[in-house]
Amino acid sequence: MKLWGLFAALLLSLPLHAAIAPAPTQVTPLLNGMTIPDTSLTSLDGRTQPLSAWLGGKPSLLVFYRGGWCPCCNAQLSGLKRVEAQFSKMGVQIVAISPDPAEQLQDGPGDTGYLLLSDRQLEASEAFGLAYTLTPELSAAYQGKLGRRLVTGQGSDLVVLPVPAVYLVDADGLVHFSYLNPNYKVRVAPELILTAAELMLN
């Protein structure tokens, strides 16, 4: 019995690598109390390195968004920009992650003081359990407007996107607060994340 409990605890401590879900309501996201996976991400200047290297052992707010073409995502990032100084004062850095090509990372939210990273291979979106495919109809419509800016699944014409999500992690990469909603139009208020950051640090 003790051995089984140890095995279960070990499984829970391992980062998940979830498959791409067939719909946003079927994602299996990383949960509070779990450690974030160390996947590779690329910056605007083309540098690629593990997420742990980008975070540098600092408390961080990770923001997964659909892309700079998404008005709801840009509104969320603009809201975070307004409270960025408060996060910085607490020692919490903001890192925004999307499947956009690295060279198009600044197309959306405009001038920000926080780090924008490209998850073009969807490594992070999959490992965090956020990736899902659009329906054939939606995929065709999105591709008609955005073309090759979007990412499709391997061997598939279906567009893959992350469910928009935020993860507040400590210096060790442990998740203390998370929020995601299958309805991409619904986002968490920056003030709530600030309160969660204060609780994490106290």
Taking only the tens place, the pLDDT of each residue in 72-92 is 999 999 999 989 999 999 999
Q: Which fold has domain 22-201?
A: Glutaredoxin (3.40.30)
Is residue 172 scored above 50 in pLDDT?
A: yes
Gap between the Cα atoms of 194 and 202, Å rounded: 12
pTM above 0.85, yes or no: yes
Mean predicted confidence (pLDDT) in 6-25 = 62
Is residue 19 scored above 90 in pLDDT?
A: no
> How confident is residue 108, by pLDDT bands cut at 50, 70 and 90?
low
Choose among 195, 169, 38, 199: nearest CA to 92: 169
Burial (0-12, 13-18, 19+ Cβ within 10 Å), 5 = exposed
What are 117-129's pLDDT values in tens digits?
999 999 999 999 9
Non-local CB neighbours of 145 within 8 Å, separated by 6+ positions: none
Mean predicted confidence (pLDDT) in 103-123 = 83
- Identify the pLDDT of residue 148: 85
Is residue 11 scored above 60 in pLDDT?
A: no
